[in-house]
Amino acid sequence: MSILYGIPLSTFTRKIRFALAEKGVDYELRPVRMGGSAELRQLHPLGKVPVYQSGDLVIPDSSVIIAWLERVHLQHPLYPADPALFAQALFLEEYADTRLREGIAPIFYECTLKRMFQKKPPDDAVVARAMKIVEEGSDYVESCVAEGPFILGNGISVADVAVAAQYITLEQGGTGIDAGRWPRLAAWLGRFRQRPRIAAILEEEADLLAEGRLG
Ligand SMILES: N[C@@H](CCC(=O)N[C@@H](CS)C(=O)NCC(=O)O)C(=O)O
């Protein structure tokens, strides 16, 4: 069976778990010590998760993993067949992984990880700066969300798994999506998180968080 190296509460590990769940691909989630461990550097030159291993093939980086999965597991595609939607989906994946991440990661760190592991309060100035990025990012994502059921309309895509993975981290940092300001975004995430395989992953994560563990 293929191996996914990562930890459940890592945003990019979650992105891949969502993708694998939607594609119906079985895998073993293998926890790995982060923080630049030698073990992880052997798998990923930057010492990051996720890394996916299929046989002898070791694939770092969530976007590369999904691109490979699309080639190998043709069922339940995450890349739209329509070229324009394909481009939009890839751009939303990129936007989530970079710009949304830039705002959401510090909020999760300040409001959850710092309390959990250092017993320290968040730095309000850092949170305020990060929140501005999230707000601007949410304005953009809101403008992209179609009527549904998925971000780009009728078909699930890589945009759904990438954007959802980020907003779940935001929630775990104590901030939900303001449905008054971003109604489409909030409604879409509400629908997405209710998908049975997604809900099962999120339940597991909620239990870990309640226990004060990341994986
Ligand atoms: N572009 C990478 C980003 C991966 C990433 O930043 N992973 C985080 C965990 S969510 C990580 O490994 N952080 C540890 C570190 O940077 O040392 C991807 O899409 O896989």
What pLDDT is attached to residue 135? 98
Distance between Cα 111 and ligand 1 center (Å): 19
Cβ-contact 103, 169 below 8 angstroms: no
- Cis ω for the linkage preceding 50 (within 30 of 0): yes
Q: Report which ligand 1 atom has the smallest distance to the Cα of 65.
A: 20
- What are the tens digits of pLDDT across the range 126-176? 999 999 999 999 999 999 999 989 999 999 999 999 999 999 999 999 999
Pairing of strands 28-30, 3-5: parallel
Q: Which mutation among 15, 33, 49 tests ligand 1's pocket best, with the greatest number of atoms within 8 A of CB?
A: 49
- Give the pLDDT of residue 148: 84
For residue 11, the CA-to-ligand 1 centroid distance in Å is: 8
- For residue 14, pLDDT over 90 is answered with yes
Atom 11, ligand 1: which residue's CA is nearest?
Answer: 48
Quick one: pLDDT at residue 36?
A: 77
Is the pLDDT at 125 greater than 80, yes or no? yes
Q: pLDDT confidence of 191, banded at 50, 70, 90?
A: very high
- Identify the pLDDT of residue 214: 84
pTM: 0.97
Pocket of ligand 1 (CB under 6 A): 10-12, 34, 36, 47-50, 61-63, 97
- Residue 102 pLDDT class (50, 70, 90 cuts): very high
Ordered by where they begin, the domains of the chain are 3-72 (3.40.30.10), 83-210 (1.20.1050.10)
DSSP state of 13: H
Which residues have CB under 8 Å from 68's CB, separation 6+? 52, 59
Atom of ligand 1 nearest to the CA of 48: 12
Give the Cα separation of 95 and 83 in Å (integer): 18
From the alpha carbon of 63, which atom of ligand 1 is closest? 19
Eight-class DSSP state of 211: T
Distance 101 CA to ligand 1 centre (A): 10
Q: What is the pLDDT of residue 8?
A: 95
Write phi, then psi, for 123 (nearest 5 degrees): -85, 110
Q: Quote the ligand 1 centre to 50 CA distance (angstroms).
A: 7
Per-residue pLDDT of 26-35, as tens digits, reads 999 999 988 8
Nearest ligand 1 atom, CA 34: 14
Pocket test for ligand 1, best of 4, 5, 11, 12 (most atoms within 8 A of CB): 12
Residue 57 parent element (H or E): strand 57-60
The structure tokens listed for 61 are 């980086």
